[in-house]
Amino acid sequence: MMELFLNALASGLAQGGIYALIGVGLALIFGAMHVVNLAHGEVLVAGALLTYLLAGAGLPLWGAILLGGGLGGLMGLGLYSLLLPVRREPPISSMVLTYGVALIILYGLVEAFGSDLRNLTYPAWVRPVHLGPIRLALGEIITLGIALLTVGGVAWFLRQSWPGLAVRALTQNREAAMALGISPLAAEALAFALGSALAGLAGALLVVVQPIAPMAAPLFTVKAFVVVVLAGLTSPLGVALAGLLLGAVEGLSALVNPAWGELVAFLTFVLMLLFRPQGLFGRQR
């Protein structure tokens, strides 16, 4: 029984690495612009399907993964340019716009790729690796490692580089940041591109370890919201920890019933909004 518990926990943490990437991406966008990006999951699926297409055509896997993340960044810049006319309007305007873009992307992907599940098959990535009683596929370990390293890199970028500090300053106090000469447009564009690139990278990694279909995009958007609400708008490391926690809870709930993973995620979302809206790591204002 303990071995089953540990394997479910480890598998959940591997999935939590994907949640960490999309959660940090969404938190970056919302923190800089206070925009609810309802197209976040569609960016993830677009990155996944581009990786699937390029790797299937013979491009080396790592190159395809990087281009999948790059596509996410470009889509983020495009979406940001669409949001410019409504960035000072009530929040419902940006929500409606990003929801409309999400539908366009979603049904465009369905038209181009169909609604079937897509998955890249690499024998090396599905090779089992034994860590004591824990048995994971090599691809799950690689995905978790890349996710954690990427989040760490983003945290370093936001704390140690001038562009990253500009994004943090804009997030914390917009008026003070502008008074210091920081361009809000440049900082917002950087946050949107970086946050969307993380979603594209998450999709590129995901398609190598498990099947994915275009219609899964809205579910990943919801999962990103769950992670951000669970963490509160804290540092990238705090959001990443919430993503790992959500993955672990989903993995363990599957021991009881495989269909309970989504139920637990949504229940966590609702309970957190009701009883601790500032999140596990956020502070109430």
**Residues written for the chain:** 285
Q: Is residue 64 part of a domain?
A: yes
Please report whether residue 243 resides in a domain. no
pLDDT in tens, 68-79: 999 999 999 999
Selection from 284, 273, 259, 8 nearest residue 133 by Cα: 8
| Strands of the chain, DSSP E | 128-131, 134-137
Q: What's the domain count of the chain?
A: 1
The answer to whether residue 137 is domain-embedded is: yes
Of 276, 26, 29, which Cα lies nearest the Cα of 167?
29
Q: What is the pLDDT of residues 222-273, one digit of tens each?
A: 999 889 888 876 678 888 998 998 898 888 887 777 667 777 777 877 887 7
Contact criterion met (CB below 8 Å) for 76 and 40: no
Does the residue 6 lie in any domain? no
Domain membership flag for residue 7: no
154 assigned to some structural domain = yes
Decide if 263 is inside a domain: no
Domain of 96, in residue numbers? 21-216
Q: Kindly report, residue by residue over 22-60, the tens digit of the pLDDT.
A: 999 999 998 888 888 999 999 999 999 999 999 989 899
Domain assignment of residue 207, yes or no: yes
Rounded distance between C-alpha atoms, residue 262 and residue 246, angstroms: 10
pTM, entire model = 0.92
| HSE toward the beta carbon, residue 59, CA cutoff 13 A | 13
* Residues 54-60: contacts with CB under 8 Å, at least 24 apart: 55/120, 55/208, 56/120
